[in-house]
Chains A and B, each alone.
Chain A
Amino acid sequence: MTFKQIKIPVLVSLAAILFSCQEKNESSSTLTGIDQVSYNFHIRPILSDKCFACHGPDANKREADLRLDTEDGAFAALKESPGKFALVSGNLQESEVYHRIISEDPGEMMPPPESNLVLTEREITLIKKWIEQGAKYEPHWAFTKVEKPNLPPSDDWSKNEIDRFVLQKMEENGLEPNPVAKPHELIKRASLDLTGLPPSPELLDRFGDLTGENSYEDLLNGLLSDQSFGEKLAVLWMDISRYADSYGYQDDNIRGQWPYRDWVIHAFNENMPYDQFITWQLAGDLLPDPTKEQILATAFNRNHKYTEEGGVIDEEYRIEYVLDKTNTFSKGVLGITMECAQCHDHKYDPFSQQEYYEMFAFFNNTPEKGYEGDVSVSKPAKTPILWIDEQDLSGIMSFINYQDTSKLSVSVMGELGEEEKRTTYILDRGVYDAPSVPVSASTPSSILEFPKGLEANRLGLAEWTTNRDNPLTSRVFVNLIWQEIFGTGIVKSAGDFGMQGDLPSHPELLNWLAADFMENGWDIKRLLKQILSSATYQQSAEITKNHLAKDPENIYLARAPRLRLSAENIQDLVLASSGLLHQELGGPSVKPYQPEGVWEAASSGRGVLATYVQDTGKSLYRRGLYNFIKLTVPPPKAIIFDSSNRDQCEVGRGRTNTPLQALVMLNDPMVLEASRVLAANLEETYENDNEAIQMAFKRILCRDMNSEEEELLESYFEDQLKRFESNQDQIKPTLEVGEYPISSEQENARTAALMQVIVSLYNLEETITKI
């Protein structure tokens, strides 16, 4: 079966796209408000979710030979009921679909009872109305070329184009924008968003009320050119590229992919255009006369797990690695989940199993092996390997932070010569030892035909991916950035832009941003500045009655979101505000404090990672990005705070609120040590207790405390001071946490009391929340 024959005569109309996902939640009684039912925004989500599994793209599972995902299929005469039709445009009575969905006869009704799927009344009403209106099909919105829409009319509130689209949606939904946030809130918000670090008291003072020579724009420019910018954005890319410091699988030995992480930071800091960023990672080795830097970028494809378990079957794992590369590319870059088509034609999206293996074929010609020996012969990189020597480090690769003279090795991509090239086959059920039909490298035609003249290799794939006509790449990336800033993407399912994915809340804004991004050279810093300069971004986060009544999920952004920080940024905030943060860009991953026995309890006992050897000194105070990630036992603290376990490509994290998180913030030696060191320093600097508390507050909360807070904090401090003064024996044990030395004069009741105040500050909801 092939999809190349699909004809889609109906052009997608902008009017259709205007419908937003809000309508998904309407009750049937308000349906009369919808004048024109849209296939894309009303009908396809229903058909896809409830019908396509049996009447969709998967030819092998198709019931009654009826497919409803294409217009041709849906309007054809029913094979099993001659003379009848599933759909007849504008004719409810002649449309078998309608009779089946309203039937209560278990033998007739659709979906059938055994599917465990049910259509709601609203869904039935929508389908009815759609048929009455002609049952018009439209191509899937995300697979149509990105066209820049016209801007909504100008208004007084908008600061840039983004706001015009957002305001329009707000007004449609009976909302109005929140007032502008306070200057200190904006400074903290922008600082966290662009660098992942809280603003220092000096920065807060310098930018004050964001006027004159220290305007909000100056702030943004400064933050964008800060080296911490690359570190902040790298966290996202580490999740996408499933970066880790070990091989995974049972013995889980150490690997050395970290120079790739340093490259990602470097690329973001240099503001490498996104199309180039992707091209290098997909196919840096295939560029003409590639530099070592370009080859290093291809480590993107090699960060997946590698087995070192004795007795595995080589080809079984080699195939597994190619599958992972294919799935990572499609999910992380194209925003589609193709892996369903690994075993069978996709049930929801127009990707056949053949097309999956055509995509797979791009990644199937590396000299990579499935198995290079067990843990006893483990090396930091696997074939093909990029060697990096001192000369490279002092030249083109100076962004790699490496203080040793031995050579570095990184697993990267390479391509087999013409004679050695493998034939790729469709694998039945996705199993390595069940090859069937041979295929050659190509891309799904439903997204964009692979242009003639392009070489059918990874470089060609990169060109296809970054082609102006590729409907996904730019939409998916601007959406990821939007998600970084607002917590939820314009398309909520950031990794699934297919039929089963969420519809965009602001389709025109997404199109406009994606088009604008490409028109302006795929400029990532520009995109971020654009978003942060919007009035939308600069609103206050206060929640009103109207918000709760009309938009509890904050889909329409009539207020700034309040979002808990990522695991990495919580660590950054604690270390930076206490003054302990050791700012150093890149380098091998570090092993900070970790509860005893975590690795040891869950280990085969083999390999150098069987025991956790904690680092000392400045390595204890690095940013969260640099924490060592052992795949089989990822850092427990990070996992408690919802970070990715890096097992596979992830494009978003949850944001839970749990008692285990409370325990971490209360008892983690890192938090306690930071509190102790900050307390000791403030105790020494300020004679006045109130001033010390004030400064602690400002460093941690990034604002001045108000009088109520001051009262609470002072009385808690007084209470603790009394406690330590009358229980002198508690001072030393309280201050005995973490390695960082303080002088013996600083070991006093005042430091201990101040430390308790600071611990309580680190435990405030506001502290680890972006407001």
Chain B
Amino acid sequence: MDKEILEQGLNLNRRKFLSKLSLGVGSAALGSLLIPDLFKGGSPDEEAIMAALPHFAPKAKRVIYLFQNGAPSQLESFDYKPLLNKNMGEELPESIRQGQRLTGMTAGQSSFPLVGSYFKFNQYGESRAWISEIFPHTASVVDDICIVKSMHTEAINHDPALTFFQTGAQVGNRPSMGSWLSYGLGSENSNLPAFCVLLSRGKGNGQGVYSKLWSNGFLDATHQGVQFSNSEDPVLYLKDPKSMSRDERRKMLDQIAAMNDLSYREFNDPEISAKIQQYEMAFRMQTAVPEMTDVSKEPDSIIKMYGPDCLVPGTYAANCLLARKLSESGVRFVQLYHQGWDQHGDLPSQMAMQAKDVDQASAALISDLKQRGLLDETLVIWGGEFGRTNYCQGKIQLDNYGRDHHPRAFSIWMAGGGVKSGMVYGETDEFGYNIVENPVHVHDFQATMLHLMGIDHERLTYKHLGRRYRLTDVSGKVIKDLLA
């Protein structure tokens, strides 16, 4: 069959066809990796959604999300509550708790004694933000970050809370935020996925993360997060078999392409030519990804900045450095998870270790992006899935105590990408239990993040089984005060 006619046929679905042939070439409309059936006519809905993007000029082009999995205590990090030290051991007043539900882990406790931070707090920078002594490096970049002390969520257990943060719903097979951005904006780099995931684990009490968290849900599988690992295969199945040189690989791909081409001539199915292109892209990824994960060419100054751990693959520090490299190369959304923040007991010693794992590299990432002129266009987020109670779980000792889950108030920070720097937003009561000023719901946070990326959270939708879904489900408002 005549090639020209075929091309003409393809024009029916030009956008899809082009996107099939690229890993996402940066244009908003061309989207991401690939889309299923080439000839599945794009729904008018989806076409219109894509055509409208971005909804307004984006402040941020990329996101690096430093997820602190397990829920770090706000009371030992960014929410300074001297009253808890003063009233140490006294009962949490009912006027403050207001009968709020507790998890099954402390619901049975006969008493809820207040417990103050083991760590000292100081004020830093022009913003005079209070930061605990275990985050000295973060304190040194305090004027580049925006601390939000009034986050709140709906879930009280880890799994639903994590899922809520990442997908906007506590249960259900919804797409992760990185998948939404991949769907909406695609990748800026044709050799790397739009959404990459990096995992590390601290020494503190841990809670699992799972690939479900970076799932594409009902979006096309091309939008799923690609997990990087610290094994010799940084991306699953990337590495060629033993004794297979690049030349031999090239030769085999040429062989496969020649055979596929014969088949194309017989059936005229554009899926076949798309397949050939996919193999080419795989070949390019095999070079591009190892270049990313190789930190040997980084100068000493950078190594010093992130700390010696950044040379140890799989550590949080190494992942922060890798995140910078991926982001710099145009990866739309880099999602880190650092496990080990679930301090039901033994909080002072575990929290100190956890902070030591993440503090230097998190701050280094900010400084590094800044010195490269990238901080303005890169949104960095640091935080967990909820906060921790102001009362003690288990036995209370001055240097050893625990805190249960607390969804009603917790702290995160954001930096770069159009967020006001050197600001502390929101306030909790003197017990650190309830928000008294400027609450930020998880959906508000998500709406704000999308806004910074140039997206109206109510308009980035996907119609699945009759309903239009969005990251913020049915609520969420942009917090204008956070915008620079």
Partners in one complex: yes
| In the complex, chain B residues 188-218 whose Cβ is within 8 Å of any chain A Cβ | 199, 206-212, 215
Inter-chain contact A633/B243, CB cutoff 8 Å: no
The distance in angstroms between the C-alpha atoms of A501 and B159, with both chains bound, is: 32
Known: A562-B269, A712-B255. A252 touches B221 (CB 8 A): no
- Interface: A120 (CB within 8 A): yes
Inter-chain contact B1/A658, CB cutoff 8 Å: no
Q: Mark A321-346, 1 if CB is under 8 A from B, else 0.
A: 00000000001000001001000000
| In the complex, chain A residues 649-675 whose Cβ is within 8 Å of any chain B Cβ | 650, 654-664, 666-668, 672
The distance in angstroms between the C-alpha atoms of A498 and B282, with both chains bound, is: 41
Known: A250-B207, A656-B35. A765 touches B272 (CB 8 A): yes
- How many interface contacts (CB-CB < 8 Å) are there between A and B? 269
Q: Cβ of A660: which chain B residues have Cβ within 8 Å of it?
A: 226, 235-237, 282
- Interface: B297 (CB within 8 A): no
- Interface: B152 (CB within 8 A): no
B380 to chain A, nearest CB (A): 23
- Closest A residue by C-beta to B35: A656
- Interface: B157 (CB within 8 A): yes
Known: A595-B231, A595-B237, A771-B267. A498 touches B33 (CB 8 A): no
Inter-chain contact A311/B222, CB cutoff 8 Å: no
Q: Cβ of A493: which chain B residues have Cβ within 8 Å of it?
A: 465-466
Inter-chain contact A116/B459, CB cutoff 8 Å: yes
Inter-chain contact B236/A337, CB cutoff 8 Å: no
- Interface: B101 (CB within 8 A): yes
Most chain B C-beta atoms within 10 Å of own C-beta, residue among A552, A597, A636, A637: A552
Q: Cβ of B278: which chain A residues have Cβ within 8 Å of it?
A: 657-659, 661-662
Q: Cβ of B259: which chain A residues have Cβ within 8 Å of it?
A: 709, 712-713, 760, 764
Q: Cβ of B231: which chain A residues have Cβ within 8 Å of it?
A: 595-597
- Interface: A541 (CB within 8 A): yes
Of B39-47, B137-145, B425-433, the segment with at least 4 beta carbons within 8 Å of chain A is: B39-47
Inter-chain contact B158/A309, CB cutoff 8 Å: yes
| In the complex, chain B residues 156-181 whose Cβ is within 8 Å of any chain A Cβ | 156-159, 171-173
Most chain B C-beta atoms within 10 Å of own C-beta, residue among A433, A542, A760: A760
Known: A311-B105, A760-B255, A765-B275. A542 touches B237 (CB 8 A): no
Inter-chain contact B103/A311, CB cutoff 8 Å: yes
Inter-chain contact B237/A252, CB cutoff 8 Å: no
- Interface: B34 (CB within 8 A): yes
Among B13, B33, B256, B281, contact of A552 (Cβ-Cβ < 8 Å): B13
- Interface: B250 (CB within 8 A): no
Known: A250-B159, A250-B208, A320-B171. A764 touches B12 (CB 8 A): no
Among B158, B255, B262, B465, contact of A337 (Cβ-Cβ < 8 Å): B465
A527 to chain B, nearest CB (A): 24
The distance in angstroms between the C-alpha atoms of A631 and B159, with both chains bound, is: 13
Q: Cβ of A498: which chain B residues have Cβ within 8 Å of it?
A: 466
Most chain B C-beta atoms within 10 Å of own C-beta, residue among A713, A737, A765: A765
Inter-chain contact B211/A633, CB cutoff 8 Å: yes
Q: Cβ of A633: which chain B residues have Cβ within 8 Å of it?
A: 210-212
Q: How many residues of B contact A (CB 8 A)?
A: 96
Inter-chain contact A496/B104, CB cutoff 8 Å: no
Among A544, A631, A734, A766, contact of B1 (Cβ-Cβ < 8 Å): A544
Inter-chain contact B159/A307, CB cutoff 8 Å: yes
Q: Cβ of A716: which chain B residues have Cβ within 8 Å of it?
A: 251-252, 255
- Interface: A249 (CB within 8 A): yes
The distance in angstroms between the C-alpha atoms of A596 and B236, with both chains bound, is: 9
The distance in angstroms between the C-alpha atoms of A693 and B445, with both chains bound, is: 59
Inter-chain contact B467/A663, CB cutoff 8 Å: no
B448 to chain A, nearest CB (A): 19
The distance in angstroms between the C-alpha atoms of A13 and B256, with both chains bound, is: 54
A242 to chain B, nearest CB (A): 10
A353 to chain B, nearest CB (A): 15
- Interface: A723 (CB within 8 A): yes
A287 to chain B, nearest CB (A): 32
Q: Cβ of A377: which chain B residues have Cβ within 8 Å of it?
A: none
Q: Cβ of A756: which chain B residues have Cβ within 8 Å of it?
A: 252
- Interface: B149 (CB within 8 A): no
Q: Cβ of A200: which chain B residues have Cβ within 8 Å of it?
A: none
The distance in angstroms between the C-alpha atoms of A542 and B6, with both chains bound, is: 13
- Closest B residue by C-beta to A662: B282
The distance in angstroms between the C-alpha atoms of A662 and B23, with both chains bound, is: 13
Among B158, B215, B242, B272, contact of A736 (Cβ-Cβ < 8 Å): B242
Among A601, A658, A733, contact of B221 (Cβ-Cβ < 8 Å): A658
Among A433, A654, A760, contact of B36 (Cβ-Cβ < 8 Å): A654
- Closest A residue by C-beta to B171: A320
- Closest B residue by C-beta to A601: B199
Inter-chain contact A766/B263, CB cutoff 8 Å: yes
Q: Cβ of A723: which chain B residues have Cβ within 8 Å of it?
A: 248
| In the complex, chain B residues 395-431 whose Cβ is within 8 Å of any chain A Cβ | 404-405
- Interface: A26 (CB within 8 A): no
| In the complex, chain A residues 200-238 whose Cβ is within 8 Å of any chain B Cβ | none
Q: Cβ of A496: which chain B residues have Cβ within 8 Å of it?
A: 465-466
Known: A631-B212, A668-B237. A656 touches B268 (CB 8 A): no
- Interface: A267 (CB within 8 A): no
Most chain A C-beta atoms within 10 Å of own C-beta, residue among B249, B255, B267, B405: B255
The distance in angstroms between the C-alpha atoms of A660 and B206, with both chains bound, is: 30
- Closest A residue by C-beta to B209: A602
The distance in angstroms between the C-alpha atoms of A636 and B248, with both chains bound, is: 27
Q: A348-B466, A554-B39, A766-B263 given; name 17 further pairs at CB < 8 Å.
A: A309-B159, A331-B465, A337-B466, A542-B267, A544-B268, A552-B12, A553-B41, A605-B206, A657-B36, A657-B275, A659-B285, A664-B236, A666-B240, A764-B256, A764-B260, A765-B271, A766-B260
Task: Give me the 5 closest cross-chain CB pairs, A-B, nearest first.
Answer: A500-B466, A548-B9, A632-B210, A311-B103, A604-B208
28 CB < 8 A contacts A-B: A116-B458, A311-B104, A347-B467, A501-B466, A543-B1, A543-B268, A544-B1, A548-B5, A553-B39, A598-B236, A601-B229, A602-B209, A633-B211, A640-B236, A645-B173, A647-B172, A655-B36, A656-B36, A657-B274, A658-B34, A659-B278, A659-B282, A667-B238, A709-B262, A730-B243, A733-B243, A734-B244, A763-B279
